[in-house]
Amino acid sequence: MSLSPIEALPVEILQDIFVRSLNLDLPLSSPHVGTKLSSTHCYLAACFEYLYTPIGDRIRQSRLQSRIFASRWMTWQFFQIFATKAYEAAGCVCGQHECEKAIWPPDFANPKSMQFSIGHLTRLSYIKCRIPAKLLHGPWTEEKVQFLRYLVCTTSMTVDWADREVRKIALQGKKEAILERNYEAVELFNHNRRLGKAPTIELVRFAVLDGGCDRSIVYDIMASARSWGYRDWDDEALDKWVEQAIAHHNPKGKWLKLKLSELRRHGGFLGPHTGDYSIDGDELVVKHYKACRVGEIRPRFSVRN
Ligand SMILES: [Zn+2]
């Protein structure tokens, strides 16, 4: 089959057309065109146009931002290239030149280490669009967890809860994180309301009965639920699991019994160390969660739609 006139254009000219028009439909117009446009040069041009500066139409910009993040080429590695290139000239993640509180380079692996404040946020907080479905489900690789954590910490992106398919993926993704015993991913879901409702005893039950009672994960779910104000800790299925575990000399049984009794006590204190024990492969890791600032403060560069 012969190529259409646009497909037959030399790569340089086609890329030039894309960079000038920044029409995200162009790469999708045909596989030939898509291949010719698949270059860091083109991708960065699209990011600089739609993730970097206001285009004067908030709704359209938000939609285009969502499309960019959903693209296959928007990987964690590519995002780091963009976020570095975008603000390295300024020398601070806020994008202001000669910033007195300069934060540079961005701490991609540990965004919570960057000290944002109300008047000093990363300029990425301007990005307000949908978290792509590809970052909401397992397998929870280190790369995926880091990418999701960075977006939750530095942008104003949210899950599209109105989309039933995305909703299902996110809810399932949380369970997959528990089943994969990926503490970092579970922690993200537990503590960020943009990724779903606060945990309740239902999630504790799932983590114990289906997830094999990884104590670090179960503890984090309990502590998080408690900190979000959850108080209804009675559950027959959990009590039954505890009894059986104790009868089978599984130390998790006694530990969980104590945690549940602590939570059920009026105004109960959940002790990180009470009843703890250490067996190879069954260690309790308790982290004190540090919230991401962008999730709590209205961003300076917020685009509302
Ligand atoms: Zn700054």
The answer to whether residues 59 and 144 belong to one domain is no
Distance CA 293, CA 296 (A): 5
Distance 101 CA to ligand 1 centre (A): 5
How close is the Cα of 122 to the center of ligand 1, in Å?
Answer: 7
pLDDT the model gives residue 185: 97
Q: What per-residue confidence (pLDDT) applies to 280? A: 87
Distance set, CA 132 to CA 104, 111, 212 (Å): 27, 19, 29
Final residue before a domain boundary, out of 24, 46, 74: 74
Amino acid 118: pLDDT: 85
- Give the pLDDT of residue 266: 72
92 Cα to the center of ligand 1, angstroms: 5
Q: Is residue 23 domain-shared with residue 83, that is, in the same domain?
A: no
Distance from residue 55's CA to the centre of ligand 1 (Å)? 23
| Predicted pLDDT of residue 304 | 35
The Cα–Cα gap between 79 and 209 comes to: 38
For the chain, residues with pLDDT lower than 50 are: 295-305
Q: Is the pTM value of this prediction over 0.85?
A: yes
> Which residues have CB atoms below 5 A from the ion given as ligand 1?
92, 94, 99
Instruction: Please indicate, yes or no, whether residues 46 and 106 belong to a single structural domain of this protein.
Output: no
Domain limits for position 125: 75-295
Same domain, 95 and 195: yes
Helix ranges (H only) for 155-247 are 164-179, 183-191, 201-209, 215-227, 236-247
State the CB neighbour count (10 A cutoff) for residue 83: 21
Residue 105 preceded by cis peptide, ω within 30: yes
pLDDT at residue 115, rounded to an integer: 87
Amino acid letter for position 262:
E
Å from CA of 82 to ligand 1 middle = 17
User: 11-21 and 40-47 are packed helices; what angle lies between their axes, rounded to 10 degrees?
Assistant: 10
What is the CA(43)–ligand 1 centre distance, in A? 26
> What confidence score (pLDDT) does residue 119 get?
87
Q: How far is the CA of 184 from the centre of ligand 1 (A)?
A: 28
Q: How far is the CA of 103 from the centre of ligand 1 (A)?
A: 6
Mark whether 13 and 150 lie in a shared domain: no
Instruction: Write down the pLDDT at residue 31.
Output: 92
Count how many residues are written for the chain.
305
**Is 2 in the same domain as 141?**
no
